[in-house]
Structure 1
Amino acid sequence: MNHDRYDDAYISDILTRTRTIALLGASPNAARPSYGVMRFLLSRGYKVIPVNPGQAGKEILGQPVVGRLAEIEEPLDMIDVFRAAEYLDAVVDEVLQMKPLPKVLWGQLSVRDDAAAGRAEAAGIKVVMDRCPAIEIPRLGL
């Protein structure tokens, strides 16, 4: 897939079908973008599971934090990645070990690695990169 541009229907379909999101790189710091996006997603009715090894066992916005994706025991619709683009390949390695696989891998603003995306897509995972659901949801009127 070409990740330079996404059809609105592709993004809208993902965001309307998604219910459970793992937010990789969640922060308890209200000044961090991941905190604001997590708060926004929760306010829109999504179930958000924060993932951050340094915060494991604590809570962010009232949600229990896990240290790794592998610790999540329920099926995920989407993994929202707040990690630098250079780590996306390693994130895909971790994602491909999950059973069942998540339906969507979403790279936040500036998070793009086309080769890593290709590996996820080859496994049947939809990919969005360099986008923010907290921007896309209002833009699309969802």
Structure 2
Amino acid sequence: MNLMLDDCDTWAVVGLSGNPGRTAYRIARLLQERGKRIVPIHPNAPTVLGEQGYASLADVPFPVEVVDVFRRSESAGEFADQAVAIGAKGVWFQLGVIDEDAFRRTTEQGVAMVMDACPAIEWGRRRG
């Protein structure tokens, strides 16, 4: 977790749209405030928070270090597999997103993974 929060600068945010009422939008904005580059991943490929979006991880023309997944648990595992395929250093499943098989597959490939956690909460815990 610390590797991703401290050392990884480019975060693809799966499920990020331009809706500021959504959690993905708020977390993407926080990532930017923390100096991270965000990459929106959404079927419509919207530009969000000033960053060009892409329809899939495979479409991103530069390296992505962390894939942050805002999808239901039953569809999140495919994004963990895609993260491994593109050479990401880490996969982050947001609060409530749990897929033990995806966790096993991902970590067996040597890719760090966090499940059922939120970067905002984890950064907040460090202040104490």
Larger Rg: 1
For the residue of structure 2 that corresponds to 1:127, the secondary structure is: strand
The TM-score, its normalising length taken from structure 1, stands at 0.84
Three-state SS of the structure 2 residue aligned to 1:96 is helix
Cα separation, 2, equivalents of 1:12 and 1:74: 23
Is residue 102 of structure 1 aligned with residue 88 of structure 2?
A: yes
What's the CA shift for 1:18? 1.2
Q: Summarize the alignment of residues 81-96 of structure 1 with structure 2, pairs less than 5 Å apart.
A: 81-96=69-84
| TM-score normalised by L of structure 2 | 0.93
Quick one: which of 18, 22, 28 aligns to 1:38? 28
Gaps of 5+ in 1: 1-10
Cα-Cα RMSD: 1.5
Moved over 6 A (4+): none
Identical amino acids, percent of aligned pairs: 35
**What secondary structure is seen at the aligned counterpart in 2 of 1:59?**
coil
5+ residue gaps, structure 2, are none
Cα contact 1:12–1:140 (8 A) shared by 2:
no
List aligned pairs for 1:1-142, cutoff 5 A: 11-54=1-44, 56=45, 58-98=46-86, 101-141=87-127
